[in-house]
Amino acid sequence: MRLLSRLLLAALIIAATGARAEDGYDLWLRYRLMSGELLKSYRESAREIVPGTPSATLNVAQSELARGLGGLMGMELPVSAQPTRDGSVIFGTPASSALIARLKLDGAAGGLDRTGNEGYLIRSLGYEGHRVTIIAANADIGVLYGTFHFLRLLQTHQPIEHLDVVSAPRIQRRVLDHWDNLDRTVERGYAGQSIWDWHKLPDYLDPRYTDYARACASLGINGTIPTNVNASPIGLTRPYLQKYASLADVFRPYGVRIYLTARFSAPIESGGLKTADPLDPAVRAWWRAKADEIYALIPDFGGFLVKANSEGQPGPQDYSRTHADGANMLAEAVAPHGGIIMWRAFVYSQNQPDDRAKQAYAEFVPLDGKFRDNVVLQVKNGPIDFQPREPFHPLFGAMPRTPLMLELQITKEYLGFATHLVYLAPLFEETLRSDTYAKGPDSTVAKVIDGSLSGHGPHTTGMAGVANIGSDRNWTGSHFDQANWYAFGRLAWDPALTSADIAAEWVKMTFSIEPAFVAPVVGMMLGSREAAVEYMTPLGLHHQMSRHGHYGPGPWVGGGARADWTSVYFNRADAGGIGFDRTKTGSNAVAQYTPHVAGQFADLKRVPEKYLLWFHHVPWDYRLSSGRTLWDELVIDYTQGVQRVSGMRSTWAGLAAFVDPERYAQVSAFLAIQEKEAKWWRDASIAYFQTFSQRPLPAGYEPPEHDLQYYEALCFPYVPGSAPQPCQ
């Protein structure tokens, strides 16, 4: 062995044995040295690497295999042109590997007809007297995805002797939306600054960009929108295009394409035109030229993501045009290059005083069928805004002639920022499994977005996650928030995966494989979202956070620029009860759902209690299924949320032996913060709502620690993720 290799191996072993402090930078790709019987069997099943003809992507796959297998098994694997022994790992495409091409002809690599452009198969078979594993795909990127899958099997201690895996993504565009500004602040970002160091780009390429692409590829994430949907007009100027182009070059081997946010008024601000009217020929020409300019620099550019006529952003309605006019103009500009437009449905009119939950539906449903083929509407999971719990957005199932993609928020704007341990897969799963009844039973949101309910043939499908990534060493601001990036990627590949399976996989890869660790931690993760719902917004309450920065409770928030930015608008608490009447007697938002769903939500007896106060205004003494009054149940839920967090703390306290001290300590400290803040949410909410209910707390339940004035007076001028706000 050459000296260098020996040194490398020694370094690997030191790293693998945990002698190095763990700071979370390695995410779920830690590849620490295994031990025991399974290691022996892995060492027999993976003994050499047989690559196809090199390409940028296959080189990445090869180095990942070497790194992963080397780290997990503590050995350097020889690379060979042919299988020379049992335990060859052969990878490539029929085009890049004569072996795979032959196996395909033999039928041994059969199944590639089911894997499309990005899928893969992993199979154990006999080849010329040797037991080998093939990782085969139609395109190089599928080989890379298959490689990560194969490594995941080892990382999660699965047997690898008799593999027969066929996997292909159910969703085409699996993208991360970064709300990153050009000054490196991140809107609703809780993990430090933006990872994009715009000032040093394009000349300096931080190695983090490669690690980012690698982490994305390990999950199958294939697109990134590096800039905020609240877009700067400068974002599409030439110097910035060059910066994106340099990032695109880094990402390309990993299959991650760049898309850009477009500010609708850019033709005026950076093009010097008098208007941005989408029907104006000069405006159309400006966008076509801009698209041509981008494609000359980034040939695989994905297209534009647009927030228009929403929260003060410019848009086609400024010129009395429709969303379809605006989207179609941009779609026309990128169409010759194969690009798409992701047009956001998160709109609510500045003027209309109607229920905010109804506005996207009201604006978009009349436009169904009016969008060009390469437009996809990007719809948030719920009709308000990434709350701890919302019913699914009524647009899903209501626009049969328009492709809809799902937008989820990975960053926890409304779920305690980075310090609350809230595993979001159950929230994502709840949306994906919600049944729209658009075409009868089993018309789930997952089926709407993966195109299987489509009445108009194949079309673009997609899932976007608002990224929680920043410059913090551990990427996401907390170790457990890595799981939310992970879960988003896994669900975008396969929306049928379960939260529990994803959690178990992630825990094993990120922390420890020990069952005595995995079981309690998975339990903690699975209960964590419900805990947050309980201590923040139980029984269907929503939008109850403080006005500025969305940090902490603020159920008393009222007044200000617009009613639908306040808490009182949403909770409607008064002496008679609490909750937003969205039935016929109120805003009638229920009518936007298909009759089956609407009937259930509108009926006080049948509405799931988790959505009770979302759809109904209910008296304080209303009896719930538990037999308790609404008031008692609220207090009990808030309290239970806090208790669950205390439970999480004590679970974690017993697990120190399984985790490196550095990560253990940070998780412990954050859980303590979460417990304190959960109690703050409970106490402040009870103190406020009690002024209306005028009822005592149920026996045995402690009163809030402070009076209401205390909570109302709390003010935090510097909250991460939003501009500073002076206290009055």
| Strands 88-92 and 120-127, bridge-based pairing | unpaired
SS3 sequence of 425-446: HHHHHHHHHCECCECECCCEHH
Q: Which residues contact residue 689 at a Cβ distance below 8 angstroms, ignoring those fewer than 6 apart? A: 555, 571, 573, 578, 631, 634
Contact predicate 319/275, CB 8 Å: yes
For residue 349, state whether it binds ligand GCW (rule: CB under 6 A).
no
Q: Select 180 or 677, whichever has its Cβ closest to ligand GCW.
A: 180
b/e per residue, 389-416, with b = 16+ CB within 10 A?
A: bbbbbbbbbbbeebbbbbbbbbbbbbbb
User: Annotated catalytic residue: which of 363, 385, 450, 675?
Assistant: 385
Q: From its phi and psi, is residue 119 left (phi > 0), alpha (psi between -120 and 50) or beta? A: beta
Closest separation in Å from C-beta 230 to ligand GCW: 5
At 152, give phi and psi (nearest 5°).
Answer: -60, -35
Tell which positions 290-319 bind ligand GCW, by CB under 6 A.
307
Smallest Cα–Cα separation from 65: which of 88, 82, 95?
88
Nearest of 168, 200, 208 to residue 184 by alpha carbon: 200
Q: Which is nearer to ligand GCW, 360 or 634 (CB)?
A: 360
- Residue 358 in contact with residue 316, Cβ under 8 Å? no
Q: At its nearest, how many Å lie between ligand GCW and the CB of residue 159?
A: 44
How open is the CA angle 619-621-622, to the nearest 5 degrees?
A: 65
Nearer to ligand GCW, 214 or 307 (CB): 307
| Site size with ligand GCW, rule: CB under 6 A | 10
CB nearer to ligand GCW: pick between 187 and 197: 187
CB of 72 to ligand GCW, least distance (A): 40
542 lies in the site for ligand GCW, by CB under 6 A: no
CB atoms within 10 A of CB 714: 15
Bridge partners of residue 303, in order along the sequence: 340
Residue from 31, 198, 264, 346 that binds ligand GCW (CB under 6 A)?
A: 346
CA angle 33, 34, 40 (to 5 degrees): 125
The nearer residue to ligand GCW, 492 or 719, going by C-beta atoms, is 719
The interface with ligand GCW within residues 700-719 (CB under 6 A) comprises none
Are 531 and 648 in contact by the 8 Å Cβ rule? The answer is yes
Q: Which is nearer to ligand GCW, 86 or 187 (CB)?
A: 187
What minimum distance in Å lies between the beta carbon of 410 and ligand GCW?
A: 12
Q: CB nearer to ligand GCW: give 363 or 385.
A: 385
Look up 530 and say whether it is catalytic. no
Query: What is the smallest separation between the CB atom of 345 and ligand GCW, expressed in angstroms?
Result: 10
Cβ at position 38, least distance to ligand GCW in Å: 45
User: Taking CB under 6 A as the rule, does residue 675 contact ligand GCW?
Assistant: no
Cα gap 490→476, rounded to integer Å: 17
To the nearest whole angstrom, how small is the minimum distance from the Cβ of residue 415 to ligand GCW? 12
Which class for 227: exposed (0-12), middle (13-18), buried (19 or more C-beta within 10 A)? buried
Question: Could you tell me which of 444, 449, 375 has the C-alpha nearest to residue 406?
Answer: 449
- Of 307 and 616, CB closest to ligand GCW: 307
DSSP 17: T
Active-site option among 311, 442, 705, 707:
311
Please confirm, yes or no, whether 363 is among the known catalytic residues.
no
Q: Which residue is nearest to ligand GCW (CB)?
A: 385
Please state the closest distance from residue 53 (CB atom) to ligand GCW, in A.
44
Please name the residue that has the structure tokens 């609708």: 264
Q: Distance between terminal CA atoms of the chain?
A: 69
Q: How far is the CB of 477 from ligand GCW (least distance, A)?
A: 17
Residues 358-387 that bind ligand GCW (CB under 6 A): 385-386
Map the footprint of ligand GCW across residues 221-240, applying CB under 6 A: 229-230
- In the complex, the smallest distance separating the C-beta of residue 193 from ligand GCW, rounded to whole angstroms, is 17
Q: Are 483 and 506 in contact (CB under 8 A)?
A: yes
Contact 401, 415 (CB under 8 A): no
Minimal distance in Å, beta carbon 344 to ligand GCW? 7
CA distances from 685 to 272, 560, 667 (A): 51, 20, 26
Q: What is the 3-state secondary structure (H, E, C) of 564-582?
A: HHCHHHHHCCECCEECCCC
The footprint of ligand GCW on residues 188-207 (CB under 6 A) is 188
Catalytic residue among 64, 325, 413, 472: 413
**Distance, CA of 515 to CA of 33 (rounded, Å):** 18
CB-nearer residue toward ligand GCW: 413 or 637: 413
In angstroms, rounded to a whole number, what is the distance separating the alpha carbons of residues 166 and 173?
20
Identity of residue 398? A
Out of 187, 206, 368, 609, which residue is the one contacting ligand GCW (CB under 6 A)? 187
The CB-of-95 to ligand GCW minimum distance in angstroms stands at: 42
Q: Which is nearer to ligand GCW, 346 or 423 (CB)?
A: 346
For ligand GCW, the binding residue among 179, 475, 535, 615 (CB under 6 A) is: 179
Looking only at the bridges linking them, the beta strands covering 120-127 and 130-136 are: antiparallel
**Is 311 part of the annotated catalytic residue set?**
yes
Non-local (6+) Cβ contacts of 498 within 8 A are 429
Nearer to ligand GCW, 94 or 555 (CB): 555
Question: 438 forms bridges with which residues in the sheet?
Answer: 440
Distance CA 97, CA 111 (A): 16
Which of residues 230 and 454 has its CB atom nearest to ligand GCW in the complex? 230
Residue 392-421 contact track with ligand GCW, rule CB under 6 A, x = bound: ---------------------x--------
Helix ranges, 46-123 (H): 56-73, 98-106
Residue 37 CA to its chain's centroid (Å): 37
For residue 178, state whether it binds ligand GCW (rule: CB under 6 A): no
643 counts as binding ligand GCW under rule CB under 6 A? no
CB of 667 to ligand GCW, least distance (A): 27
Cβ closer to ligand GCW: 26 or 385?
Answer: 385
Task: Please check whether residue 616 is in contact with residue 579, taking contact to mean a CB–CB distance below 8 angstroms.
Answer: yes
| Residues tagged active-site | 311, 385, 413
Footprint on this chain of ligand GCW (rule: CB under 6 A): 179, 187-188, 229-230, 307, 346, 385-386, 413
